[in-house]
Structure 1
Amino acid sequence: MNINNRIRSITGEKTEQMSWPRSLKKLGLGLIVTSTMLTPAYAMHNGNTTGSIVSSFESLFGVTKGKRRNHTKGFCFDATLIPHDKAIQQYSSSVLFSKNLEVIGRLSHKGGNSDAADDVPADYGMSLAIATGGENHHLMSMNTLDFFPVATPEAFAQLMIAKTKGGDAVKAFKNKSPDLRRFKKHQSTKLKTLTPYEGNTFNSINSFYLLDAQGKKTAVRWSFIPSKKQKIVKTPKHNFFFENMQENLNTQGVTWDMVVTLANPNDIVENAALPWKGEHKKIIAAKLKVKRIQSEQKGSCDRINYDPMVLSEGFAPSADPLLQARRNAYALTFSKRIYEQTKP
């Protein structure tokens, strides 16, 4: 399937045919093709929710050409995903839980500021491209939020538009949105302590399904939790997260536990703005062991579109509408930045 037809099949949007630069066509294998791409013609079409969200990010933060519109600042890492508790295999036949797999990851600051400060507490992201055999991959895109501020793509677009208009517009939106009020109240209770990338917990936010060999579905969310406490070991300054992680990697190693949380019968699966409360069964399904870190210039993560709906056999997406919205937005911004990098 060619690029334009792939986009149409995923998003339902019409896309203008265009001739992609030869260097971009060479990227149309493996990770890039199994993710999604949108033409710049689609990227400039703002009469849709995806276009509104992306345009709002560009308006708020400006555009760093050739870079992501959100989670703009970050760096790459190579790691191995190592299966841990075999109990997870009764819920999923995924290869993620049966053998060691190589990973190309990215750690980043939330937002579109390419020069975001490392020495100020913030929210962060982790993305993983897990090689599952041949040219197949399982992709994940997580962040340090515990749940999402709103429940639908339309509400998120409205929130982003309000942010471009200023504090009064955001306040007016908040007054109408119980989801945003819940989110803001929760955020105000969180301890704002400067913590390096490697010391943070990263959450799937959205729900997914595990599928066993017979196709039985189990709703889950997951988190990558540091296996051991990781501290600030370098003097904080505007840019120090890379050297801090390198020092921790050299002295004690950097590993996260992949903790899978199984839904209870009363949990709402398709709403990422509602946290799951109470006791849940949790399984440490795997461990993510970092081998090395690299800048985006030297690493391999910059040209990967970490589409959260590219999954291995044994997983399936939930019907949470924000999952498809994330896929569309990532594809749109991916196409824009790759085109900026490769246009003649």
Structure 2
Amino acid sequence: MLRTFAFLAALAATPMVAAADSHNYNYNSAEEDFAVFESTFGITPGKRRNHTKGFCFVGQFSPVDPAILAYTSSPIFKATSKVNGRVSHKGGNNQTPDNKFSDRGLAFDITTPDGDYHVMGLNTEDFFPASNPADFIDLVRTLPRGADAVKALAAERPELAAYLKHHKHDREKVNRPYEGTTFNSVNAFYLVNGNGERTAIRWSMVPTTAKDFVVPESEDFLMENMNANLAAGNVSWDMVVTIANPGDDPDNAAIQWTGEHKKITAARLTVMSTASEADGECDAMNFDPTVLSDGFELSDDPVLAARSAIYAHGVGVRLGEK
């Protein structure tokens, strides 16, 4: 982590000019956009301002299908690597109840036997509500004003309208444990092989078995539930890579990739143990999804740059509060 922290901190101080189209708002820096999250989700000192409630895990990341090596030279697909990670609830409430459906997150870093480093950050959403940071910050700013204000914003934003229709009405909303939940990369990246050929991808972390609730449900039971499932057997997700079709736009996270796609089960993430944030390592970690191993490259999706800058600023703020 130390070898990436200076780079991440520098990003936090870099102006982040977003495409604010016809609006008069200023989205000039990670600090300003971070303040919008604070005003919307509140502040729990020493904690993340979004995905505030969560717990840590350690595990391993292992190659599965060598077919992925035709697309990338990344070392994460060549040997079993160490993992430090975190599962979380979306939103800024550190007391969010575990026994109600909500969007959730899975974030982890991968350290290969040779010391290469790779970070993944995924969510249960199928796609993003905006293709650019300015429109997303507009949404975050609007949330405290209630559902009617969000609907009014969506009437002006086709991307947000499509997001709300799918995520609020079309998809199944069933509460599941973290270990029984599918998480999605949302943003696209490129795989790069030894010949320099680039292939756009997204991916999902898909549970390898249908894990369910095995302890009595309460407002704070998901860590206990994962531990019970660990004691009973395997807790793991497969990394299922979706290869972009010619018409897919890798730079727009607000567009869902639909229809038939080539998929490769590239690797498996296996949990070995869990820990509270007080006892584990994940609370101080910055899960910046732009930190990639060789054999991966960023797309030109502007949301990725925004996430990186806001995360870097956020980790400095919360560590300074401890």
Structure 1 counterpart of 2:152, from 156, 165, 172: 172
Q: Which residue in 1 is equivalent to 2:65? A: 85
Q: Which residue in 2 is equivalent to 1:59? A: 39
Q: Which runs of 5+ in 2 are unaligned?
A: 16-25
Distance in 2 (alpha carbons) for counterparts of 1:39 and 1:320: 18
- Retained in 2: the 8 A contact 1:162–1:169? yes
Q: Does 1:278 align with 2:263?
A: no
SS of the residue corresponding to residue 93 of structure 1 reads coil
Distance in 1 (alpha carbons) for counterparts of 2:91 and 2:240: 26
Please provide the CA RMSD for this pair.
2.0
Matches within 5 A, 1:1-344: 29-33=2-6, 35-36=8-9, 48=28, 50-133=30-113, 136-187=116-167, 188-341=169-322
Percent pairwise identity: 45
Partner letter of residue 293 of structure 1? T
Per-residue deviation, 1:171: 2.2
Distance in 2 (alpha carbons) for counterparts of 1:32 and 1:93: 25
- Retained in 2: the 8 A contact 1:219–1:262? yes
Q: Which residue in 2 is equivalent to 1:12? A: none
Per-residue deviation, 1:40: 9.1
Distance in 2 (alpha carbons) for counterparts of 1:41 and 1:317: 18
- What does the per-residue CA deviation read over 1:68-117, in whole Å, with 9 as the maximum and x for residues that have no partner? 11111000000110101000001000001100000001000001111111
Moved over 6 A (4+): 38-42
Q: Which residue in 1 is equivalent to 2:22? A: none
Q: Aligned in 2, Cα 1:249/1:34: closer, same or farther, shift over 3 Å?
A: farther
Distance in 1 (alpha carbons) for counterparts of 2:139 and 2:240: 31
Per-residue deviation, 1:213: 0.7
Per-residue deviation, 1:39: 6.8
Q: Aligned in 2, Cα 1:47/1:264: closer, same or farther, shift over 3 Å?
A: closer
Q: Aligned in 2, Cα 1:242/1:235: closer, same or farther, shift over 3 Å?
A: same
Per-residue deviation, 1:268: 1.2
Distance in 1 (alpha carbons) for counterparts of 2:14 and 2:71: 42
Per-residue deviation, 1:52: 4.0
- What does the per-residue CA deviation read over 1:196-221, in whole Å, with 9 as the maximum and x for residues that have no partner? 01110111000000000111100000
Per-residue deviation, 1:175: 0.8
SS of the residue corresponding to residue 309 of structure 2 reads helix
SS of the residue corresponding to residue 210 of structure 1 reads strand
Per-residue deviation, 1:134: 5.8
Q: Which residue in 2 is equivalent to 1:3? A: none
Q: Which residue in 1 is equivalent to 2:18? A: none
| TM-score between both structures, scaled by the size of structure 1 | 0.86
Distance in 1 (alpha carbons) for counterparts of 2:11 and 2:242: 33
Distance in 2 (alpha carbons) for counterparts of 1:171 and 1:177: 10
Distance in 2 (alpha carbons) for counterparts of 1:321 and 1:333: 18
| TM-score between both structures, scaled by the size of structure 2 | 0.92
Q: Which runs of 5+ in 1 are unaligned?
A: 1-27
Q: Aligned in 2, Cα 1:41/1:273: closer, same or farther, shift over 3 Å?
A: closer
Partner letter of residue 30 of structure 1? R
SS of the residue corresponding to residue 302 of structure 1 reads helix
- What does the per-residue CA deviation read over 1:111-140, in whole Å, with 9 as the maximum and x for residues that have no partner? 111111100001100001101356541011
Partner letter of residue 2 of structure 2? L
